[in-house]
Structure 1
């Protein structure tokens, strides 16, 4: 990310830089909640301190920036500690003022002012243009989406579609529709349980016939696939769940189980295991467990 700048990080997610000009108009309107707006106004001097520190000394870790907040916000969910710097940095990132420029060796975020992180000379769009283009990009990524889904806001992008047995209004990407009869390549992907594709559960169920349940918050005795199991997507089908975890201490990818919804064909099994091998290589660790 920090080398070729093809991606940028926001709210813990990596986005292609081509999305940034479409997102910036909405980022500049943030925040929408009055309580956050009041906190930023009360801490305007703190806000300016953080920006000035980054501009003069950045890139910096959050811990290298003094907490000069006049008003502290409590963290009811325990997500934030008493230090207000991480909260302010995230607020400024959502406004497009600062950005994550790298990750440290310990995977901590390294921050800098946005003009030194984001590419220069990006196109600028009005709010209306940006919203329309964002909706089109979301639909291109989804292929088909509920028109009014809070997870994939596509509005009137694309064309109307009907999903048999569904009560929802759907929109489909014309390019995806044109490829509907093409042979699927069957590529294997392991989805993070928090992947955006999985957020709209009715869509996953009605389009892919996959009833996904995140078992992270279930008692161990009630888990079927594992604490943080990854859905396995093969082409356009969900075929199983991968229960695997990265053991950083021992530098291995530990595969606890590979669950199939229907018995894998030998070729499918080979593809899945090859993808696991590739994941371990990408992570730069060894592989233990099911082979």
Structure 2
């Protein structure tokens, strides 16, 4: 198939639209989840938790924080898996992939050494679930290493996370930030009738839908050979484009300002940010304070199809004020751009129910 030839402006427009960051906003949580495929969950709430910030940056004033747990726990239109919320339409393919997951040798050895612990945990959930991790006894015979520092000495959270990836247990809700677990067959229903190749093709297509345009076989976007080949003006990359995203690619529907949480999916493919947007982004959360340039948790500022700056701001501990430490301009701003950015920051403070300090 002949590759679609795209200008850089068309490429950026496809990506921005695929991420629901153009002027026309989506209507609700489910619409966002269906298009993006995954909404990252992270407790780092410098301004707001990532899952809430991602939804607000798309929906705007039509979004209220209570809509997300309602969609997950009451309406069952979304589900949680491996640190993200996903639409139910992706569950069959994802479960088929879970079933075929291959473990690293060290992980498989740890699981085998703790076969009795695994059986105890599953039995407890079957009899008494849903449960919090704290409600499940740690009967591990062999502790796992903890080089990453992400786990405590309690082996229950580690076993739950592993069994979730294998499709044996599932998160069915939360109590605050704590996950409630149940056995997957009760939480998710019968296993899907999909083989691994069918599931992989479906998931590649969904990832390309969310990306709009991605490098062929990129490990960052993982779209494989989904979609159709494309060439982008000035780029040597081999791209894949979602053919659905080509409709109206030359229509100018208008842009807007978006303040993006550092864990926003728009930012995940760092090489694509550089290639398509000429934007290099480094999260400085884990950089020593003296070496930070833009701030601990600076939010990139997207204006139309250009990244024009970063917002260094935080919600103070009493949650009374959004405090702006700095607004970094990556390019010279027009007065209209400055007004639009400041208006978006004010809207963010209002959405948080907070005052605003440091903007003027």
- TM-score in terms of structure 2 length: 0.72
Structure 1: 5+ residue runs without aligned partners? none
Q: CA deviation at 1:35?
A: 1.2
Q: CA deviation at 1:159?
A: 1.2
Q: CA deviation at 1:141?
A: 0.7
What is the CA–CA distance in structure 2 between the aligned matches of 1:15 and 1:240, rounded to whole Å? 30
Q: CA deviation at 1:248?
A: 5.0
Matches within 5 A, 1:134-213: 134-213=203-282
Q: CA deviation at 1:157?
A: 1.1
Summarize the Cα distance change of 1:19–1:265 in structure 2 as closer, same or farther, 3 Å threshold: farther
Pairing partner for 1:95 from 135, 160, 166: 166
Q: CA deviation at 1:252?
A: 4.7
Q: CA deviation at 1:181?
A: 0.6
What is the CA–CA distance in structure 2 between the aligned matches of 1:246 and 1:108, rounded to whole Å? 22
Structure 2: 5+ residue runs without aligned partners? 1-71
Q: Which residue of 2 aligns with 1:74?
A: 145
Q: CA deviation at 1:135?
A: 1.0
What is the CA–CA distance in structure 1 between the aligned matches of 2:317 and 2:130, rounded to whole Å? 26
Q: CA deviation at 1:271?
A: 4.2
Q: CA deviation at 1:52?
A: 1.6
What is the CA–CA distance in structure 1 between the aligned matches of 2:102 and 2:351, rounded to whole Å? 37
Q: Is the 8 A contact 1:255 1:287 kept in 2?
A: no
CA deviation vs aligned residue, 1:63-91 (integer Å, no higher than 9, x gap) = 11100111110201211111100000101
Q: CA deviation at 1:111?
A: 1.7
Summarize the Cα distance change of 1:251–1:46 in structure 2 as closer, same or farther, 3 Å threshold: farther
Q: Which residue of 2 aligns with 1:114?
A: 184
Summarize the Cα distance change of 1:185–1:65 in structure 2 as closer, same or farther, 3 Å threshold: farther
Summarize the Cα distance change of 1:223–1:110 in structure 2 as closer, same or farther, 3 Å threshold: same
What is the CA–CA distance in structure 1 between the aligned matches of 2:317 and 2:240, rounded to whole Å? 42
What SS does structure 2 have at the residue aligned with 1:160? strand
Q: CA deviation at 1:121?
A: 7.0
What is the CA–CA distance in structure 2 between the aligned matches of 1:96 and 1:277, rounded to whole Å? 43
Q: Is the 8 A contact 1:135 1:157 kept in 2?
A: yes
Summarize the Cα distance change of 1:261–1:77 in structure 2 as closer, same or farther, 3 Å threshold: same
Aligned: 1:6 with 2:77: yes
Q: Is the 8 A contact 2:96 2:192 kept in 1?
A: no
Q: Which residue of 1 aligns with 2:357?
A: 289
What is the number of residues matched between the two proteins? Answer: 288
Q: Which residue of 1 aligns with 2:202?
A: 133
Q: Greater shift after overlay, 70-79 or 236-245?
A: 236-245
What SS does structure 1 have at the residue aligned with 2:85? strand
Q: Greater shift after overlay, 56-65 or 195-204?
A: 195-204
Q: CA deviation at 1:169?
A: 1.5
What is the CA–CA distance in structure 1 between the aligned matches of 2:273 and 2:218, rounded to whole Å? 12
Q: Which residue of 2 aligns with 1:25?
A: 96
Structure of greater relative contact order (alpha carbons < 8 Å, 6+ residues apart)? 2
Q: Is the 8 A contact 1:186 1:235 kept in 2?
A: yes
Summarize the Cα distance change of 1:277–1:62 in structure 2 as closer, same or farther, 3 Å threshold: farther
Q: Greater shift after overlay, 195-204 or 155-164?
A: 195-204
What is the CA–CA distance in structure 2 between the aligned matches of 1:188 and 1:93, rounded to whole Å? 37
Considering only aligned residues, what root-mean-square deviation do their CA atoms show, in Å?
A: 2.4
Pairing partner for 2:306 from 237, 240, 243: 237
Q: Which residue of 2 aligns with 1:39?
A: 110
Q: Is the 8 A contact 2:262 2:283 kept in 1?
A: yes
- TM-score in terms of structure 1 length: 0.88
Summarize the Cα distance change of 1:255–1:162 in structure 2 as closer, same or farther, 3 Å threshold: same
Q: Greater shift after overlay, 237-246 or 68-77?
A: 237-246
Q: Greater shift after overlay, 251-260 or 123-132?
A: 251-260
